[in-house]
Amino acid sequence: MTAVAVLLATLAVWLWAGPDPGTARLRRMRHRSRGGSRPLRARIAGRSRPSKRAAAWRAASIELCQGLAAELAAGRTAGEALARAVSAAGFPDPVALRPLIAAARDGGDVPAALLAAAPEQGGEAFRRLAACWQVSVTVGAALSVLVDRVAASLREAQAHRQDVAGQLAGPRATARLLAGLPALGLLMAAGLGMRPLHFLFGSPVGAACLALGLALDGCGLWWTHHLVTRARQS
């Protein structure tokens, strides 16, 4: 019983004193600025949850647009510039972009290849580039100007997402703290000699209270996650 109480207390202290998501994000950004390995980041992003994978695609898409604009400004053809920019950007799934690189180098249907390679989440840049490419081919508009505008809009959207994530870091940390407060309550009750674990695991009423408490705690965490997700998508 004492070991379980100590374990619950340790978990509660970690929830209270652990780094919030904003601090963890700053640490990851600092690590990347010190020269983290791009292939390693790509492999980690490929195995992470969909939201992190979409963030990796968006960050690499900004690199793609900036690289494409630089290649076009250097005087390269559109297809060669796109192939070089895609190869240089750190996308989490470079294998899926091989048909796009082949279409760009061989003069294929680049807009269709961009749309086919765009993931459902995080592929906004590819869909915009496909539209820009189609406009450039159809009416002869300068592709470099269109790419610069796409890159600017992507940077603005990225800054907005980072601002929203920073504002949501506090509520998420508070939700984690509130979720761990029952563990502190158990520790305090055990310290007063009330034997809360014996009550929770040794009687039907205690088991029902434990199940109800866990269900309510889980519902609270789920609802907080739901609100945070909707705030990010709005």
Last residue of a domain, one of 138, 162, 186: 162
Mean pLDDT of the chain: 78
Instruction: Mark whether 207 and 129 lie in a shared domain.
Output: no
Answer yes or no: is 23 within a domain: no
Instruction: Mark whether 136 and 214 lie in a shared domain.
Output: no
Instruction: Mark whether 45 and 118 lie in a shared domain.
Output: yes
Q: For 232, phi and psi rounded to 5 degrees? A: -70, -35
Instruction: Mark whether 229 and 158 lie in a shared domain.
Output: no
Query: Per residue in 102-156, pLDDT tens?
Result: 999 998 899 999 999 998 888 899 999 999 999 888 877 788 888 999 999 999 9
Q: What's the pTM?
A: 0.59
Average pLDDT, integer, range 55-74: 90
- Residue 209 structural domain: 194-234
Answer yes or no: is 75 within a domain: yes
Answer yes or no: is 167 within a domain: no
Instruction: Mark whether 94 and 139 lie in a shared domain.
Output: yes
Answer yes or no: is 21 within a domain: no
| Cβ burial, residue 1 (10 Å; 0-12/13-18/19+) | exposed
Q: What is the pLDDT of residue 10?
A: 55
Whole-angstrom distance, CA of residue 24 vs CA of residue 106: 43
Count structural domains, the chain.
2
Instruction: Mark whether 46 and 102 lie in a shared domain.
Output: yes
Answer yes or no: is 5 within a domain: no
pLDDT interval class at 82 (50, 70, 90)? very high
Query: Per residue in 169-223, pLDDT tens?
Result: 888 888 888 888 888 888 888 888 888 888 888 888 888 988 998 898 888 888 8
Instruction: Mark whether 111 and 154 lie in a shared domain.
Output: yes
Instruction: Mark whether 200 and 148 lie in a shared domain.
Output: no
Instruction: Mark whether 63 and 145 lie in a shared domain.
Output: yes
Answer yes or no: is 183 within a domain: no
Instruction: Mark whether 100 and 54 lie in a shared domain.
Output: yes
Answer yes or no: is 16 within a domain: no
